[in-house]
Amino acid sequence: MSDIDGRAVAAALRAEVAADAARLREEGIVPTLAVVVPTDDEGTAWYVRSIGKAAEKEGIDCRIEHLKDPGRDEIVAKLQELSADPAVHGVICQTPLPEGVTLSQVGGYISPYKDVDGANSESLGRLAAGLRTFPPATAAAVLELLKREDLVLDGAKAVVVGRSTVVGKPAALLLLNESATVTVCHSRTKELAAVCREADVLVAAVGRAGMINADFVKPGATVIDVGTNPTADGGLVGDVDYASVAPIAGRLTPVPRGVGPVTTAILLRHTVIAAELTKTHG
């Protein structure tokens, strides 16, 4: 088994982003990402700061818009304001959202041209229809990791465990666009291990620490672990039981240092693409 090195992929992507950002700045465009943070959650604050640092490092300005105990209307107003601001190219609405507010609802107020984390359902629909769009960054990171490996997705059997709007469903649509035969599993799936064992490519996005063990993996399969489950000691573990799966899988992303850094790099790449789009779409 070989580990898929998420940090190396992220570094390669970020080098491209830095070059694009430098070129845009020479043209007088300062690529700018705005992150709306509607929560006081500590983990979220840490994550948002890490995006901000990564952005600045590659030449992207990052505006963090913290909202104190916002209601739905305040979040919507901020997303509309940023969508209309010509100095802002990418807009993210960070989760968790306040009780009763869903990302699917408020995401519709992010302009599709600036929707660098694919939160607008129009972006998801364009993905399903095979049109140009920004997929959710985590789902795009899964594909980026797979496409940089020496494997054939065309005709491969891919199984995605998890049917969320932000990861499972868009990852399935991206894999389908690559001509994989795609199965989406979830909490109601029967004989889950057996279904997963059919997969050439297995994507774990369930949010349950270590749930995917050796029983779920065909020898030689490529396994992408999207899980980021906090541990008691402040660390992170994936949805895949690494020790059990590593001897069986052909390739496996670790957690941390797998999907996570690539997701951040994809957000930055989407932001420079969005900045580039302003040349034609204003």
Interface with a copy of itself (CB under 8 A)? 104-105, 120-131, 154-155, 157, 163, 165, 169-170, 172-173, 176, 179, 181-186, 188-190, 195
Q: Is residue 40 exposed (0-12), middle (13-18) or buried (19+ Cβ within 10 Å)?
A: exposed
The nearest distance, CB 70 to a copy of itself, in angstroms, is 21
Q: Is residue 9 exposed (0-12), middle (13-18) or buried (19+ Cβ within 10 Å)?
A: buried
Our CB check for a copy of itself shows the closer of 185 and 226 to be 185
Was 163 annotated as part of a binding site? yes
Our CB check for a copy of itself shows the closer of 107 and 227 to be 107
Type of residue numbered 178: E
What the block records as the tokens of 147 is: 């496409």
The nearest distance, CB 10 to a copy of itself, in angstroms, is 27
What the block records as the tokens of 223 is: 């396994």
The nearest distance, CB 64 to a copy of itself, in angstroms, is 26
Element (H, E) at 123: helix 121-128
Was 244 annotated as part of a binding site? no
Element (H, E) at 20: helix 6-26
The nearest distance, CB 169 to a copy of itself, in angstroms, is 5
Give, in order, the Cα–Cα distances in Å from 107 to each of 100, 115, 124: 14, 8, 11
What the block records as the tokens of 178 is: 């690559």
Our CB check for a copy of itself shows the closer of 55 and 196 to be 196
Our CB check for a copy of itself shows the closer of 128 and 214 to be 128
Q: Residues marked as binding for NADP(+)?
A: 162-164, 228
